[in-house]
Amino acid sequence: MVFSSITFLFYFLPIVLIIYYIAPKKFRNLVLLISSLFFYFFGEPKYGWIMILSIISMYIHGILIDKFKDTKYKKVPLISGIVISIAVLFYFKYFDFLIENINLWLDKKIDIFGIILPIGISFYTFQMISYLVDVYRGEAKVQKSFVKLATYISLFPQLIAGPIVRYTTVEEQLENREYTFEKFAHGVRRFVIGLAKKVLIANVMGELVNVFNEYGDGTVIFYWLYAISNMLQIYFDFSGYSDMAIGLGKMLGFEFLENFNYPYIAKSITDFWRRWHISLSTFFRDYVYIPLGGNRVSKIKWIRNILIVWTLTGLWHGAAWNFVIWGLLFGVLLILEKTIFKNIIEKIPGFIRHILVLVIVAISFVIFSGTDMNTILSQILGLFGIGATGFASNVSIYYLKSYLIILLIAIVGSTPIAKTIAEKLKKKYPKTINVLEMIFLIILLIVCVAYIVSGSFNPFLYFRF
């Protein structure tokens, strides 16, 4: 079940909200747990038991970590819990990939298992790890209520595609949540905006990406149309889902941390990753990079730490070499940015740096979205006219004109321009803007529903993670 579906919008969500708010406060976590399990089993009936067993394992290991915290055995349950979580993730996500590479590099003919990846396993595995580590560090209290802990992991707003919500973020909220009409209204607003980003922009950009893959027009214009629409689709798809998750959280009384902060206005790769998928980058920072020593070690070890983190970042996104290369590309760029090019970058005008970051990110997402390395290489070279059939063609000009308006809307929408203007107008004309905003959101919702009902192109990229 996806958020941008009639089933979710008009059946699941209204029923859950009604039952949730009718129920006494002490039973609301239980209502959320049952609703979230139904939500997950609806979309993943075959592998839902994996999540349930993982939650049971995490609950037991959390209790054991707390029990042995003052003994010499305090690390045993921590290591055991992490190993079990990673082993489950490795089997379902990487085992076939390992066999494929053994066959390739050692000239073997081992049959792959054809393992299907359970929805959301990468997200909820990382949440479980963060819980165990934070309990071990003493940064969070062990949760002795199975219902509350299971609710945290299975909470349907962020279950299948994040953001990665740490236990410390919602620890207090599992006990006490603030319920106000204003907060609920803000949640609805955020959800509708996220839905529009997903349905009206990401899906349309996805159509243009598919056109490129189907037509195979080899002109420079079409290569850039593909690269730009691809990076916009990925951003609006994932940030739109994060907006919907944050909005749903507010409707239920939760406050989730932001996951995107206009990454396409960044003027450096470092700045880009402070703004892009914040919950993932901070997870690797706090649970991998810093424990390895961070930058408080020798230069060689610091470089090692960065490369480890970015290899894992790439692998987290998928079991394929293009993801590994994508991750390592950013790792190398960050190393260069912080060492060799540090002084040079500071002297480059901000506008030029911004353009350079966008070009690099566009190329990186060509790698990210690729299916094989030969195709990826030809697409990257094609952006610069190498191997292209020409600069433009009737087909490329036709699709440029056809999608120009939505491309411009997407480009502006990926910046804080519209938000800044709206906030300034709201300060000057609060009552008028509030009314106009409500009308705008209603129209936006109606248009989104119309698109969904029409059966328009409606994939969701991050389901595969």
Question: Which amino acids are annotated catalytic?
Answer: 317
Residue in 143, 340, 357, 159 with CA at minimum distance from that of residue 271: 357
State the Cα–Cα distance between residues 32 and 264, nearest whole angstrom. 35
- The DSSP string of 425-458 is HHHHSHHHHHHHHHHHHHHHHHHHHHHHHTT---
Task: List the structure tokens of 359.
Answer: 């070009």
Amino acid at 400: L
**Which run of H or of E encompasses 353?**
helix 350-369
State the Cα–Cα distance between residues 71 and 136, nearest whole angstrom. 12
- Other CB atoms closer than 10 Å to residue 346's CB: what's the count? 9
State the Cα–Cα distance between residues 457 and 465, nearest whole angstrom. 20
- Which regions of 139-180 does DSSP assign to beta strands (E)? none
CB 207 within 8 A of CB 406: no
Residue with tokens 């470092």: 270
